[in-house]
Structure 1
Amino acid sequence: MVDMAELLTDDQISSALEHLPEWRHEEGELTRSVELASFPQAIQVVNRIAEIAEQENHHPDIDVRWRNLTFHCVTHSKGGITQADVSMAQEIDSAIDAFQQS
């Protein structure tokens, strides 16, 4: 089992990205951008991610531009990507999917 707080190797990140097709590895972070149907829906997604982040005690950086969201997952205290970032990316994908299907 991978320690959630240990930095992932490039190979581990590449392997994780095989299961996160909307995400990319840029500048030491996992990054995903998405366009929602409306500004209120984008804010609902942000609010849902905030709830999850509080539960997990791991917080992504989120850029909100009208109905466009960009998520950045990185463990700042470790200076790179950890399993906690991969898990948060999966949670973000699930939240986005739930809102886009409703």
Structure 2
Amino acid sequence: MSANDVIAQDELNGYLQEMPHWRKIPGAIAAVFETKTSAAAIELFSDIAGAAELDNHHPNVDWRYNKVFVTTTSHDAGGQLTTRDIALASKISERATSLGAKPRVDLISAVEIAIDTDNPEEIAQQWAAGLGYTTLQDGSLADPNGRGPAIWFQKTATPNANRLHLDVWVPNSASGPVLKNLQDVRTHADAQEAPSFTVITDAQGNRFCICTEADR
């Protein structure tokens, strides 16, 4: 299997404009489909497995009652996205549509742990060894089994005293209600980097970021 079909970011954006069910998250593209019954979700799960076997390209699939959460990336290309991911995602959307499944873009999300550091290389392998993670081409760490949160090293000359924070990824199209909910519970929002990310600070000074695929 070749890893020479990696998609550049501009090219990926073009593909995603024609794929309304899918959004970019760190290291993958993702979709969520909701069916009328649990049995229909199992049928969709089975169809996705069949498509994956035919393409010899296997996504991560999480079945939760009547919802199916899917992500796909190319591990042989260092966790980058390739045309194989686009082809498989298109087939999955076709099968979901044929089964009457409802796309739930608003449920697409991912959480990664971000570490402020002025020297990512000094600590990356220590974290990889402790977690059993692999290093991706962008320097982040990923669970090879697709279960644990990604680790992102945010390089900065002046690391914050609270060096660890969560990056909560949501589609830009669904970020408005999330930010409104945070406003309603009186968090502080620093939106100077929005829509790429908005820094949220709680009442005790703990931070997390609401991140989107826009302007990354």
TM over 0.5: same fold?
yes
Higher RCO structure, 1 or 2 (CA under 8 Å, sep 6+): 1
- Equivalent residue, structure 1, for 2:39: 40
Aligned counterparts of 1:43 and 1:4: Cα–Cα separation in 2:
31
Q: Could you tell me how far apart the structure 1 residues matched to 2:56 and 2:84 are?
A: 10
Answer whether contact 1:31 1:70 (CA < 8 A) is retained: yes
Q: 1:54: how far off?
A: 0.6
Contact 1:48 1:95 in 2 (8 A): yes
SS in 2 for 1:84: helix
Task: Give the structure-2-normalised TM-score.
Answer: 0.44
Whichever structure has more helix as a proportion of its residues is 1
1:88 and 2:85 aligned: no
**Aligned residue runs from structure 1 range 2-13, under 5 A:** 5-13=4-12
Partner of 2:76: 77
- Deviation of 1:77 after TM superposition, in Å, equals 1.5
User: CA–CA distance in 2 between the matches of 1:67 and 1:76?
Assistant: 28
1:38 and 1:55 mapped to 2: Cα distance? 26
How many residues are treated as equivalent by the alignment? Answer: 99
Deviation sequence 1:35-81 (CA, Å, 0-9, x none):
11111000001101111111110111101111111110101111210
Instruction: Kindly indicate which of the two structures has a greater share of residues assigned to strand.
Output: 2
* 2:106 matches 1:99: no
Q: Hey, what's the Cα distance between the residues in 2 that align with 1:44 and 1:5?
A: 33
**Which one-letter code corresponds to 2:9 in the other structure?**
D
Amino acid at match of 2:82: T
Q: 1:22 to 1:69 in 2, by over 3 A?
A: same
Q: Which runs of 5+ in 1 are unaligned?
A: none
Measured at CA, do residues 63 and 93 of structure 1 come closer, stay the same or move farther in structure 2, by a change above 3 Å?
Answer: same
Q: Which runs of 5+ in 2 are unaligned?
A: 102-216
Structure 2 distance, partners of 1:83, 1:4, is: 10
The RMSD of aligned alpha carbons is 1.5
TM-score, with length taken from structure 1: 0.91
Identity of aligned residues (%): 25
Q: Distance in 2 between matches of 1:72 and 1:17?
A: 14
Aligned to 2:154: none
Q: What do the CA deviations read for 1:3-30 (whole angstroms, capped 9, x no partner)?
A: 8742111001100001101110001211
* SS of aligned partner of 2:71: strand
